[in-house]
Structure 1
Amino acid sequence: MRRWLSRYRYAIIFWLCFGVFRTSLADWNPIPSGSMRPTLVEGDVVLVNRVAYDLKLPLTDISLVKVDNPRRGDVVTFTSPKDGIRLIKRIVGIPGDTLEMRNEVLWVNGTPATYLNAQDIIEPIASGQSVPGIKLTERADKSQRSVQFMPTVRALRNFGPVVVPVDHYFMLGDNRDDSADSRYIGFVPRRLLIGHAHHILASAEIMDHWMPRFRRFGSPIL
């Protein structure tokens, strides 16, 4: 055993350092579903800054140092408070915010979001089927992003008003009618935030022989 450890010590050191790096500093996250369409699509792999908000003890949710506060509009990875699954969504509400949704329109602190640049789309869903949809630019609280709606899909289009508790965040998927977000799983505690997803590392057509989508490589997540 001692001889084996001596022979492979540099490889062991490398993988230990790599493990610490990935669990405490930076990470990547594959996108398995369409809940963040059109911003992120199935087959994207995103880069995640694990120390954007908190420096944590590796392999735990224990924060050692608070680095910065999450902002509305940030796309983040986090552990679901409902079932422990890792998810990726957009923060739309920070502590103290009053949120409401009326017929798909998001309201933040009494002000409705505005929706521009509507485009008709055809959105793929399960079993090889497609449904009509609408892609728009949503502007809310000095930030904007692309979102989409699928009017023929059954979804939760109204909620609130609700007030975001201290040290909690409200998440929505950009694919508003196909996202298991805070409308269903509740507020997300800060301790369950993993990191800020900021760029697309790589992307491939997972349903089309894994052909690479080079145009998405290195794209910032807006």
Structure 2
Amino acid sequence: MSERRVHGFTCSPDRLWGLVGSGQDPAEVLGDAARDAVADLDHHLRRSGSGLTTAGLARDVLAGRPAEEHADDLARLLVPVLASVGAPAGDPGVIWLQDTMFLDWEPVLEELGLGALAASWGVADVAWPWPRGTRPRAHWPVVTELAPGAPAAVAAEFGRQTASGEPRWSEMLAGLDDDAFVDDDGDPVDDPEDVREELAEHLDRLAGWVAGTPEGCSLFLVTDGDL
């Protein structure tokens, strides 16, 4: 089955961009907390036949010389880097997209009163390791930053309750018509009930992620997997 994964991390953006050109030792930056993520990225790089390694990519970034031809894999480097210098957004710190992989999330989130999340979900707006605020160089994966203050705004939307004390978004999701669930091409999804159930699980996890993002930190979302 095709699937995508969304890794969530919290980190100070100044700490993250401060690594670029810092001259630090890759072995120190990619510590024990990043061991599994380093192994996963090295496995991907071996299968791609690129000849690259996680340590080599990190060395280039820390030396301040990232290569644009490696932009996609440098975006993937964010997972082990953030695992080391940041913190997982939750436990677990990953969301697996299967039935919702090709769902057009934005109109559904708008319907649920989650407009702040709708404006950010799936938006590629992180240029790291190039200067913050410049255009992202990577095509895939997609890296999204909810900058300091934004997670709290999303958390406030998730926190709205019904008169019975239930999350408002959850009650609205249960009542959405099946035709609200369409794919990126605007076609109806194959099984709207499976999509509804999976989406409820993902949104519940995202609610925890934004609520748990420390003040002054960004929430970074790295979406990778099948195109």
Query: Do they fold alike, i.e. is TM over 0.5?
Result: no
Of structures 1 and 2, the one with the larger relative CO (CA 8 A, separation 6+) is 2
Q: Which has the higher strand share?
A: 1
State the structure with more CA Rg. 1
Q: Which has the higher helix share?
A: 2
TM-score with structure 1 length normalisation? 0.25
